[in-house]
Amino acid sequence: LIDERDAFARALAEWYAVARRPLPWRLRPGLYETVVSELMAQQTQIATMLPYYERWMRRFPDFEALAAAPAEEVLRHWEGLGYYSRARNLHRCAQIFVHMAQKPRSAAGWEELPGIGPYTAAAIASIALGQPVAVVDGNVVRVLSRLTGERRHFSGNAEAVKAFRPLAAALLDSQNPGQHNQAMMELGALVCLRGRPLCAACPVAAFCNGRAAGDAGDLPHIARRATERLEVNRVLCIEGGAILLHRIPEGAKRLAGQFELPLAEELGWKPTGKALASRTRSITHFRIREQIHCLPRAPLPESGLPPELRWVRIEALDTLTLSGPHRRWIRELLAGVQASSIRPETEG
């Protein structure tokens, strides 16, 4: 593959020029656009993040606007994307960046900023600054493992990324590093798909060992963490036009300052009967079943409400940042309760 790298890079570039998706950060490229899109795209599907990206750019069009914005508002514009540390890091990044006399021009310089790891730094440096540094993400690992027919078993993503970094660097088109990196990732996203590569439509099929051997779809071999199942019980409690919410304390590792439906155990209440609703979601390798119980009034602990619990007027919900899918759940549940299609459970 390395011997044929010029022909490989040409075939890839020609395909990318016509097949690439017209994403907003490609149509209106820039350093800020690259930083925002790269951080938003981590752990989020492109289709999911598009409306968030557009809204973000309208409200925070550049580093200066983002740096000057209150943290609460930044988080509210991130709500629904999850992994809020990315929003906090982006905010801090902008605040540091606007005060830097010497703006970082290399991947190593970008890695000094909060929340920017080797992958993101390489993407920013190559795409926005034209630096010849290869990007290696999950898509690139999949493409390279199939092209080379690498059948080694990796213990995790980090090990696989490390193993393929030298090859990615050797194949990089150093005249057009940003385009080349995006083309590799786009190939993984659109053609060299997980489990079912579309080899018949692949622009680099002629270079592919995995395809020739017939087992490309099984590659790469990367050990996955086993899924752990959890069940939690939450409470929907509404009284006099207010809803009881839990505020995640400042200083918490995750989701600090955000609101969510309280856990039943916080109220010292043991769920009885059938839940009002059941929702399932995945966070990293956890599969969590959330049982939401409706109570006509809060079974207050004798000592009063713990400090993390607050009554919030329902019309004020839009001014708060709610964690994960809690706003959607609350909306759906309130609609159900108001339509009286569901009878609240009595206190156990």
**Dist. CA 227–CA 315, nearest whole Å:** 38
Residue number with CB closer to ligand SF4 (202 or 330):
202
Binding mask 121-160 for ligand SF4 (x = CB under 6 A): ----------------------x--xx-------------
Nearer to ligand SF4, 216 or 330 (CB): 216
Q: How many residues of this chain interact with ligand SF4, rule: CB under 6 A? A: 15
Per residue, the 3-state secondary structure of the chain, as one string, reads CCCCHHHHHHHHHHHHHHHCCCCHHHHCCCHHHHHHHHHHHCCCCHHHHHHHHHHHHHHCCCHHHHHHCCHHHHHHHHCCCCCCHHHHHHHHHHHHHHCCCCCCCCHHHHCCCCCCCHHHHHHHHHHCCCCCCCCCCHHHHHHHHHHHCCCCEECCHHHHHHHHHHHHHHHCCCCCHHHHHHHHHHHHHHCCCCCCCCHHHCCCHHHCHHHHHCCHHHCCEECCCCCEEEEEEEEEEEECCEEEEEECCCCCCCCCCCEECCEHHHHCCCCCCCCCEEEEEEECCEEEEEEEEEECCCCCCCCCCCCCEEEEEHHHHHHCCECCCHHHHHHHHHHHHHCCCCCCCCCC
Q: Which of 205, 222, 244, 276 binds ligand SF4 (CB under 6 A)?
A: 205
Of residues 123, 202, 244, 261, which one binds ligand SF4 by CB under 6 A? 202
Q: Closer to ligand SF4 at the Cβ: 197 or 324?
A: 197
Note whether 210 binds ligand SF4 by CB under 6 A.
yes
Instruction: Single out the residue of 135, 216, 292, 294 in contact with ligand SF4 (rule: CB under 6 A).
Output: 216
Among the residue ranges 156-164, 193-201, 246-254, 297-305, the one whose residues contact ligand SF4 (CB under 6 A): 193-201
Q: Closest CB to ligand SF4 among 212 and 252?
A: 212
Give yes or no for residue 220 binding ligand SF4 (CB under 6 A). Answer: no
d(CA 301, CA 145): 57
Length of the chain: 348
For ligand SF4, the closer CB: 94 or 204 = 204
Query: Distance between CA atoms of 247 and 309, rounded to whole angstroms?
Result: 6
Stretch in the footprint of ligand SF4 (CB under 6 A) among 91-99, 192-200, 245-253, 273-281: 192-200
**199 is an interface residue for ligand SF4 by CB under 6 A:** yes
| Nearer to ligand SF4 (CB atom), residue 125 or residue 208 | 208
User: Shortest distance, CB of residue 124 to ligand SF4, whole angstroms?
Assistant: 26
Residue with tokens 């629904």: 80
Active site residue 38: yes
33, 38, 150, 290: the active-site residue: 38
Residue 208 beta carbon to ligand SF4: minimum distance, rounded to whole angstroms: 3
C-beta of 105: minimal distance to ligand SF4 in Å?
Answer: 33
Find the binder of ligand SF4 among 109, 197, 220, 324 (CB under 6 A): 197
Interface positions with ligand SF4 (CB under 6 A): 143, 146-147, 191-192, 197-199, 202, 204-205, 208, 210-211, 216
Hey, which residues are catalytic here?
38
